[in-house]
């Protein structure tokens, strides 16, 4: 739970594409430049962390928020590049979600990754930060079927880290609403805007931040999809997303190469509809 009676709170979000908000396009305000300019600095996305910060700002008079997350980053990169800056900001609240990109790679060891994560969490806790950790979503279809055991082991570790360090755990594993295809973008890897909205509501629910809407609101009935349409979508996914992803892995490139954090310094947040 978070103290909503305070006058000011500094919140810093750390992680990869999930926390950057990939899949949830930002609505640009007049005078903020073009989408091409935003794409150059990685600022095209809103995401659950932005939405959560806006919820906080509805209840705390002064919320300052930084988001250092960058798509494609491995856990060691998040800890090396983002942690020092976060510690220097002396935040009251830190959300940290990383390790998923590591687990997609051959030979990843979920126990070793968890040990790295725990050391980072303890540094934050020792400085007096409240820390929020996350499990992933329990999806056992497609390419995730082969990797599910590895991810499950890592997230069991994350749950234990939260217990041992007195951190808060947002349990996406139990969020059955996120297993609906509409919670995901067409790349099948990043959440859609609706998925991000529901995660923000779940974070609020976990931390005791009041909201009008519920994260577990049932989805409306979906239109049926015939076999031919589904296979055509599979083929497009392979060509547009899977093969380019494999190409980046083979060449040592990352989707985050050259992308800078969208919100590198804590700035005040306006309360907006989320």
Domains in the chain, ordered, with CATH? 8-215+228-268 (3.40.50.1110)
149-207 pLDDT per residue, tens: 899 999 999 999 999 999 999 999 999 999 999 998 878 689 999 999 999 999 999 99
Name 84's Cβ contacts closer than 8 Å, sequence gap at least 6: none
CB contact at 8 A, 184 and 192: yes
Q: Give pTM, 2 decimals.
A: 0.87
Q: At residue 39, does pLDDT exceed 50?
A: no
> Does the pLDDT value for residue 14 go beyond 50?
yes
All residues at 6 or more sequence positions from 13 whose CB lies less than 8 Å from its CB, including other chains: 19, 49, 53, 65, 66, 67, 68, 69, 94, 95
More confidently predicted of 194 and 242: 194
Report how far residue 189's alpha carbon sits from residue 86's, in angstroms, rounded to the nearest whole number.
Answer: 27
Q: How confident is the model at residue 36 (pLDDT cuts 50, 70, 90)?
A: very low
Q: What is the dihedral of CA 183, 184, 185, 190, to 10 degrees?
A: 120
**pLDDT the model gives residue 6:** 94
What's the whole-number mean pLDDT along residues 239-253?
A: 59
Q: What is the pLDDT of residue 150?
A: 93
Cα distances (Å, whole numbers) of residue 44 to 167, 179, 260: 30, 25, 12
Q: Does 192 or 240 have the greater pLDDT score? A: 192
pLDDT of 146 > 70? The answer is yes
- What is the pLDDT, as a whole number, of residue 32? 47
């Amino acid at each position: 739970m978070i103290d909503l009676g305070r006058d000011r709170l500094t919140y810093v979000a750390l992680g990869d594409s999930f926390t950057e908000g990939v899949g949830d396009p930002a609505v640009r305000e007049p005078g903020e430049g073009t989408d091409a300019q935003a794409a150059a600095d990685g600022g095209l996305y809103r995401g659950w962390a932005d939405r959560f910060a806006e919820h906080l700002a509805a209840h705390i008079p002064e919320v300052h928020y930084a988001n250092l997350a960058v798509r494609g980053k491995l856990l060691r990169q998040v800890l090396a590049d983002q942690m020092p800056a976060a510690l220097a900001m002396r935040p009251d609240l830190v959300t940290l979600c990383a390790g998923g990109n590591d687990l997609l790679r051959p030979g990843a060891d979920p126990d070793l990754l968890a040990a790295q994560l725990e050391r980072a969490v303890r540094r934050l806790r020792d400085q007096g930060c409240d820390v929020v950790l996350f499990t992933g979503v329990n999806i056992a279809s497609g390419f995730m079927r082969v990797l599910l055991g590895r991810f499950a082991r890592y997230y069991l570790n994350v749950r234990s880290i939260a217990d041992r360090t007195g951190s808060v755990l947002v349990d996406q594993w139990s969020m059955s609403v996120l297993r609906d295809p509409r919670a995901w973008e067409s790349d099948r890897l990043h959440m859609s805007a609706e998925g991000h909205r529901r995660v923000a509501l779940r974070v609020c629910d976990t931390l005791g931040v009041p909201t009008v809407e519920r994260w577990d609101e049932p989805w409306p009935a979906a239109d049926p999809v015939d076999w031919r349409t589904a296979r055509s979508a599979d083929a497009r996914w392979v060509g547009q997303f899977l093969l380019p992803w494999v190409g980046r892995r083979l060449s040592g490139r990352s989707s985050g190469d050259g992308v800078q954090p969208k919100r590198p310094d804590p700035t005040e947040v306006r309360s907006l509809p989320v």
